[in-house]
Each structure stands twice: as structure tokens, then as C-alpha cells.
Structure 1
Amino acid sequence: MCGRFALTATTDQTAAFLGLGELEEFPARYNIAPTQPILAVVAAGPRAPGSNLPDREAMLVRWGLIPGWVKDTRNFPLLINARSEEAATKASFRSAMRHRRALVPASGFYEWRRQANGRRGQPYWLRPRHGGPVAFAALVETYMEPGGSEMDTGAILTTAASADIATIHERMPVVIEPEHFARWLDCRSNEPRDMADLLRPAPEGYFEAVAVSDRVNKVANTEPDIQAPYMSVEEETPETPKRRKPGADDGQMTLF
């Protein structure tokens, strides 16, 4: 699963990484949450012969995909993720997987280690070891509201986690490498079945896991310090047992 992520690369860095022309200036975002607008990149429409315009373009979408066939969004779940194993066949994502594949730039994502009772435990900031940014595989869908207005929406594709990430969570976002951007975005020539080899976990060691404080749990906390390393009780290394004096009583209180 991917329920929070960040994009802290500069506008110029992001544009260069994604092969875009100009990109409207945006601030660093340290705690991006569902229903908020996110940056997505899609293939551009037809270009005139000899055009120097880039073959991809950026758009803002609401994080939470709504299929075009939905009649009442109040009774429809928030689809922030799409399981890559079933995106080509599941009704909610089938059309977008065929016609509207996208890239979502990120500097990393957050994940929570599950406790035995199923509740969220220690949060982690998972960042690429090579530095940012990275591109998550995504799907976009334009939803026509009953009143006639249109809303662009999107979801991030996930896959089984690599072995090192699986100790935190069993799922992770699908990462598309730059050499595969064009193939992933080309929905005219490449069908979903042609994308199967891209829908795999990132290599083990690709991401670095940094334990952070639970301040990231609150959407209102958007400052850079939410990514600061934090040693929780769960993560602390047990202390080396102290040497005991002969005859010492563990139940005896001591000043030393």
C-alpha cells in the first residue's frame, strides 16, 4: 500500500527527471495525503509534424481514482491504490490501465509497520538510496460529476514488497525507471499485457527505511522535520546486560 508520500525535489529537478518542458512552480511537499492534488504525467496528445514540444505533459489530479461509471461517489470507496496484479482486469481500473497510464513523481513514501493487533505501528520514511526523485506507476481517470463538471482523479499502482520492505509492509508502489517512461506512457502502441515486466518490486536495497516519529500520522503536519530519524521504543537496541556482583539480588533496590 502507499497511503502517504512526499515530493521535495525542486520544480526544475522534477521537470528534467520526467522529460517535461516547463513546469509550473510548486513548493516542496512533505506529507501528501489522499484526496489532495498530486502531480501526474501522461502522454501528450497528437503533435504537429516537426513540433519541438515534449511528448508528455503534466496535470494535477485528485489522489483517489473514481471510475467513469460511478453514479454516486458517496457510496464508492476511495481508490488511492490499484493492485498491479489485477489492474488490467478489475472493472475499477481496466479502462485507465488500457488508455490512461501515468507517472507520479515522488521523493519517497511513508509506510507503517503493522502491529499484531492490525493497528498501525512505527512509521517509516522510505527514500531511494540514490536520492530522489522516483516515478510511481499510476492511473488517471476523468470523472464527470452529475452536475456536468469534470474532475481528474488518480491512483498509484502497488506490487508485492521487496524482501527488505516486506518486514515493514507487504506492499509497495511500483517504480518505473526513466528508460521505461516512454513505453509505460504509450497507451496507443502498448497494451496492458505488454507492461507486465514493469509491474515488479523495486530491487532489494533500492529504498532506505528511516524510522520517523508518529507526527507524520497527522495530515496537518507538513514540515520537513517529520522526516527526521526517530528512535522509538520498538526500534531501540536492547542494552547489554550489566555485570552482576556475586550474590546480588535482582529484586533488591539499589542506588548504583
Structure 2
Amino acid sequence: MCNEFQIRVSRADYAAAFARLGVPLRWTDPEPVRAADDPIRPTNRAALIRPCDPVDPRAGLDGVERRWWMIPAFHKGPVAGWKPMTTLAPIATVDTTPAFREAYRQRRALVPVSSFIAYDAPAGWRKGQPKRRWEAAWTPADDEDRIRYFAAVWDRAQPSDLAEPIESFAILAGPPGPDLAAVQDATPAVLTLEQGLQWLDLAGPGKAALVTATPAGTYRVTEAPRVQLMTAEMRRALP
């Protein structure tokens, strides 16, 4: 599965795409200071783009920073008391699973992404040893296409150990295509901005338009070990 991703561009780098489509995008939260190669992992905060009016996404979007690992509204215990791994929402059951179904019907969002990470166990791997780390990206069609968007859902909960509600999100995922089938069993739904606006439209096709089993050649998949796990020789070989 995918439980790590990266955003290697700033908000200003993809603002032109929204401007070209005439869709206003307002950021409520300040842009975080994040190194280009600093990955986003579960419980980290990441950019979340959602409609100001869910009935008319093209009228305007609100950009915020929210927790990745969705806590559904019905959870009333402490944050740590929510144990299910709701970082990913399976496309097949997102409209029926209690943790996701209301968010799917009412609270859809987009998460900007420039690549995502998969892990697999090499031959002879043993528990406790690091797995191989792979980065999946695409060849941009143009400068704006350097950034694409995960289809996401979000919710607002009031855990017992927090004074204020917490908003969090999950990324929709489904079966992988041939590029990633060898390294993960669930691939996120990655959308262009036009496809993303269609996803946000509650009157649109919703999950029926999401494709994760993409054709061979959709992604470039390259080994990308963590720097702290590299030998000195490996670090010197980095471009």
C-alpha cells in the first residue's frame, strides 16, 4: 500500500493551473516549511483542497493543512484510541464502510502530490530489516502537470482528549496497474486538476471515474532508499 508521498513544489508553482481554469483557490493556513525531499507520512499534516460549496466546486476552493489518517466523526474516544489504519479508503467500499461513507457522500477533497512511495521486501528479507523503497512518479505533460492530486475524503471529529475538533483525511486507493503490482497491493487514485474537479462534484460520477489499475508506462518507478539508510558510497552517487 501507499503510506508515504511527497510534494516537491510550492503552492505558487501550481497556482497557475487553478488560475487557467478560472477556479479561485484561497489558502487558509500558511504554507509549511518543508524540505523538497521530506516525505509526508501518516499523522503528518498535508495540503488539503476542498470546495467552499460542495454543490459547486468550480465556484471556489479552500486550501488548508490537515492530518493524514482520518478519524471519523463518530469516534469520541482519545485520538490514540482510533486504531484502524484509515490513511487509505478502498474505492470499492468507500461508499459503504462506516468510517468513510458519510465523508464520501458529503466531504470530498484533493491532496496535491508530486510522487508517492511504495515498499517491498527483497529476496531473503527478514523481519526487522529495511525494505526496498520505490518512488512512483509520472512524466509531466507540461509545467503545471508536475503536480497532480490524490482523490480524498475528510471528516471532523471531537476526540475526548482534545479541546477543539480535529479534521483529517484519507486517500482513495484501489488495485495497482502493472507498473506497481510487484511492489504494492493498493495504489492511490491520482488525478489531473480537471479530473480532480470532477471528483469534487457531488453530482458527478464519484468513485466510478477513479482508475488506479493504470496501463503500463503510466508511472516511472525507481528505487529511492532513505538517505539515512544509505552507505557513504550510495550518498555520493546521488545526482
Normalized against structure 2, the TM-score is what? 0.78
Determine the structure 1 residue equivalent to 2:151: 137
C-alpha contact 1:21 1:54 (8 A) present in aligned 2 = no
TM-aligned CA deviation for residue 55 of structure 1: 1.7
Q: In 2, distance between residues paired with 1:118 and 1:196? A: 39
Amino acid corresponding to residue 76 of structure 2 in structure 1: K
C-alpha contact 1:122 1:214 (8 A) present in aligned 2 = no
C-alpha contact 2:177 2:214 (8 A) present in aligned 1 = yes
Amino acid corresponding to residue 76 of structure 1 in structure 2: W
Amino acid corresponding to residue 131 of structure 2 in structure 1: G
Cα RMSD between the aligned structures? 2.8
Determine the structure 1 residue equivalent to 2:133: 123
Seen in structure 2, the aligned counterparts of structure 1 residues 93 and 13 have a Cα distance that, compared at 3 Å, is same
Q: Bigger CA drift: 35-44 or 25-34?
A: 25-34
Q: In 1, distance between residues paired with 2:59 and 2:32? A: 20
Q: In 2, distance between residues paired with 1:69 and 1:204? A: 40
Amino acid corresponding to residue 144 of structure 1 in structure 2: Q
C-alpha contact 1:68 1:144 (8 A) present in aligned 2 = yes
TM-aligned CA deviation for residue 194 of structure 1: 4.2
Seen in structure 2, the aligned counterparts of structure 1 residues 13 and 45 have a Cα distance that, compared at 3 Å, is same
Deviations 1:20-60 (A, max 9, x none): 4354444444211111111011111389xxxxx95211111
Q: In 1, distance between residues paired with 2:228 and 2:90? A: 24
Seen in structure 2, the aligned counterparts of structure 1 residues 71 and 145 have a Cα distance that, compared at 3 Å, is closer
The one of 16, 20, 25 equivalent to 1:21 is 25
Higher Rg: 1
- What does residue range 10-159 of structure 1 map to in structure 2 within 5 Å? 10-18=10-18, 19-23=23-27, 24-27=30-33, 28-30=35-37, 31-45=39-53, 54-72=59-77, 73-77=79-83, 78-115=85-122, 121-130=131-140, 132-146=146-160, 148-159=163-174
Amino acid corresponding to residue 55 of structure 1 in structure 2: G
Determine the structure 2 residue equivalent to 1:165: 180
Q: Which runs of 5+ in 2 are unaligned?
A: 230-234
Seen in structure 2, the aligned counterparts of structure 1 residues 98 and 79 have a Cα distance that, compared at 3 Å, is same
Determine the structure 2 residue equivalent to 1:238: none
Amino acid corresponding to residue 33 of structure 1 in structure 2: R
Deviations 1:193-222 (A, max 9, x none): 6431224333321211111224378xxxxx
Determine the structure 2 residue equivalent to 1:212: 224
C-alpha contact 2:25 2:63 (8 A) present in aligned 1 = no
C-alpha contact 2:150 2:172 (8 A) present in aligned 1 = yes
- Between structures 1 and 2, the one with greater helix share: 2
Determine the structure 1 residue equivalent to 2:232: none
Identity %: 24
Q: Figure out how many residues of one structure are paired with residues of the other and give that number.
A: 213
Q: In 2, distance between residues paired with 1:17 and 1:143? A: 32
